[in-house]
Structure 1
Amino acid sequence: MADNNKDLAVKRSVTTTVARSLVVILLLAVIITGFSIISLASSLNDAAAINTAGSLRMQSYRVAYDIVVDSPLLPEHVQSFEYSLLSPELQVLDNPAVPSDIRQQYGELITHWMQLRPELLGADKVFYLEQVGLFVNKIDRFVFELQQHSENKLQALAITGSIGLGLIFATVLFLIQYTQRRIVQPLNMLVSASQKIQRRDFDVELPPARSNELGVLSSSFSSMASELKSLYADLESNIEIKTRKLTKANLSLNVLYECSTLLSSSQLTRTIFENILTTSLKAEGITALKLDVQHPNESHWEIAVGHVKPMRWHTLPLQHDGETLGTLMWQGDDSLVDWTLLESIAAILARGVRYKHAQKQAMHLAVMEERATLARELHDSIAQSLSYLKIQTSILKRHLKRADAPECEPIADDISEQLRVTYDQLRELLTAFRLSLSNSDFGLALNEMVSTLQAQTTAHIEVSSSIDTVSMTVEHQMHVLQIIREACVNAIKHANASTITVSCRQEGHLAYIEISDNGEGFDLHKEKPNHYGLNIMQERSKMLLGEIDILSAPTQGCRVLLSFNLT
């Protein structure tokens, strides 16, 4: 309650000061005006008194003249003189405001007249004539004193008016200066501060603290500016945080959308997975990503993108339908990384790995089924026809011997030999077509095929492969496996090799296949009959858009070099 009363008293200070100044000015104006009016009225009375007093001299001489000329108007003139001497204009002089000298002289005039009046009305009128000079001198002194008194009052009035006007002027100047310093300047500063706040500049210059309502307003304005600054800073901070979160969420959605779009490709390749990882690098806080796939029905392969540093990798499992297909590893700033986004990317990559494997398996099964169908058709048609022709050729040769036609036997032998060669070639093709591999992955399929060949020979077959199987299509895989099989079969059947080495490696997008053995070798410039496997390998390398080189010499074994582009 006391604080409220204090604030109320403070708020009234400026108003009280201004009001008091105005009251003082009004009082001074009223006093000066009243004094002027009184002085004016007094000056008018003084003038009347001076005129009346001045007329006493003329009337004194007129009475003296009446005595000399024995005028009948003497009583009338005596009565007129007495009336003027006791007139109201001179009676007002009998008050404390009139100097005592003037009142005393006026009393003496009345006393002297009262002494002269009986003589005028008696017989001894000569006494008046003797005293008239003295009496007029007293009247002159009285008039002179009245004039002096009137002049003093006018001078006092002028001085008082000047002082009053000076006080009014000084009060007005003080009021203007006080208003300018205590009201106008603080108000201008408050207006300037409000304009700065409108421009969102809260560092304002406010009037100094004073014990008045403007001081209270300034203090309140300062508190308001501080609160607005704090609120605006908090608001900007919240907006910045929300904007950052929305930007991060938008970036995450864009990353997920782009990854999902890449995953919808008709055929998943290594490039697709690289693009998914590269797109994922756009996520905040991630500097490097690595995809490590360890599918149970697929060779191990991995892809790394970004700036890999010698630091610890964070890991997330690639899980799909409860099955772990590999690991997504990343490097970056833990405080900035969105774990939910990374888990979504890991889920997308897991689906991609599963879909790629299913896609490749389906294509593998389709190719194998088509090759099996073709093998059955060849077996049921051309193979049976060739078998029938061989039988008929054998019967023809027996009939020619019985018919004793030796000139026809070479022709029959040649036909029989050509049928045998054709039949062997067909059986070889049927064997190649019937190559059944349960794995769609190149590395696993290669090991499966080599295991089958190893069971058919005593030669030791060594296999090493570092080819990225995810980049190899089913068509590439079938052609490469057939070339490797053909080279291994040739080394087993014709070279009598004890060691066969199969090496598969990759440099960038190029794949290099090498099959070497330590067998007998052969002369490349000498055509060997019934050896058509080399031609088949040449044809398959053309289908791969690759190059194949066969290096061999007698007693130096054989090397088959194949290179092709995986993309």
Structure 2
Amino acid sequence: MALESILPTWQRLSTKIVGVLLGFLCLALLAIGTTLMLSWQLEGSSAAINETGSLRMHSYHLTVLLGRNVDEPGNMATRVAVTGKLQDINDAFKRLQRGDPQRPLFLPPTSRIRNAFRQVSARWHQTIQALAVDVIGDDPHTRIVAWHRFQSEVDSFVREVDVLVKDIERDSEMRTFWLRASQLALIALALSGTVAIIYLMFLLIIEPVERLRGGIEKMTEKDFGTRLPVESTDEFGQLTRGFNHMADRLEALYNSLEERVKAKTAELADQNRELALLYDSAAFLQQLQPVEAMCEGFLQRIRTYFDADGGTVRVLDERNGNAHMIVHHGISDAHVKAESCMKPGECLCGDAVAQRISVVHDLRKGGMLPNRRCREEGFATVSMFHIFAHEQHVGFFTLHFREGRTFSEHEQGLLETVGQMLGTAIENIRLGSREREMAISEERNLVAQGLHDSIAQGLTFMNLQLQMLDESLRGGRLDEVDEIVCALRSGVQESYEDVRELLLNFRSRLAEHDLAGALQTAFDKFRKQTHIDVDFAWEGSGAPLSREQQLQVLFIVQEALSNIRKHSSAKHVEIRLEDGQDFQLGIRDDGIGFNADTLLQKGEGHVGINIMRERAQRIRAWLEVDSEPGKGTLVSLRLPHEERRAA
């Protein structure tokens, strides 16, 4: 059975733990808050004691200043001092009355202290302050009377201030007692909370975990009859029920382990056979071989795997809509002759081709006349599966069984997979054939361009010279004949050298990834044929180019050297190759050069340059020809690193 649904919030273990912790947290915060409040009040009371006590000091100072004023009437410095002291006392009363929470400073909020403060404040403002003002007045008589009265009043004022200070001190003593009591309560709370939390953690967590650990230890000893009592409804209760459920399952599984092992072994054997079929088919279909041999091997492997009594492989003719039988096993010659070329709709397999669906026919059922030939040959089941290559319908294959046969969904998926593998292999053969045709066609085009640029132009020149020779002979101009014959001899020699050079270029081959060796060989041949000095330098060690790219680079170099031999009249050729991230090749000669604008006007007429550009485009490289009359020519080839293909 599955675990129970989600517990109510109040039954969850997390809720209990959080509730206990929050309760202790609230008590702790309350005790701490009380302590902080009492400490704050004590600081305010201490400041109030200091401020109230300062009233006595200010009163004594005021008495001294007033006595000095009586002895020395008219002394302005004394009057100013008296006025300042009066202001100090008034400021002290204002601070005590308003309080200052930031300092902190405030009187304790008791009625006794408040009444005493109001009495002291009233005595000061109504009596003492007025007498002090009279003492510093200008009337001598009033000053003397006020001074004697001030002396008698100030003593009682100081006694009242003393009473107020003592009241504040007694209040502070009481608050200090409560502060210590709250601190002791906080300590007691911490001790009791720790003990309570330890007990609750043991009760709620440790004890259930120990029970589960004990049960697991028994399970590891193959005591699958172990069951744990469910003592709570929280998460541990659910875990306990889950443990008991797991124990039930394990006990049932252990009792049926042998049967399950046999079933798993058989399943693994089937999977291994399937993997072996896929691996063997993939390895076989990757081999270079004709389509017939490929289909023959494919059908043999499929028949062996599914123990089929017969089968066929057919390839579709998209142009005519026919399905041609390529190979067949286990069916009669008459059947093969009748269905060697089948159109959609001729039988149920033909209908499946038109609808592009895989079908399995049970021929033991009546009413399927289109499959009459298969029934006459004793087949009970005929299955048909398609051959696809990249969603393109290539053909289909059939399996024939003399006994009834059904295919599971997994087996149908396997047959569709191997059908796609065969379709991909057939399509690869077709693509390879088309690629070879395109390569041959492109190479023939380059051969034709090379012949046109060399031999065809030489033959045209010799044809013109022959016409001029004929005209000179008819006109009896023998002096012109010698010049024409020399020109013909030079043209024949040049054409011979062009043919020889073309043959050497087209026969050029690369050793295994040895572009440097092939280039060096080409430069040595060029040096021997032309006696032109060649300076070749190679820098860098980039990743090797693919074989196609290496061949095209070699052909471009050969064509550039051919142009130098024919047109440049150079004495020195400098070749620099930088093989870093980008592949860069520069061929510079010190020949006569040419006008770049003239080259642009010729366009397609300059076949040699166009051949080099076409070869560069094949490998997605960039080719530039830079030249000026009398300054030689530079041919630059650059292959960006993103276009480099691994060798």
- TM-score, normalised via structure 1 length: 0.38
**Structure with larger RCO (C-alpha < 8 A, sep 6+):** 1
Give 1 or 2 for the bigger CA radius of gyration.
1
* TM-score scaled by length of structure 2: 0.33
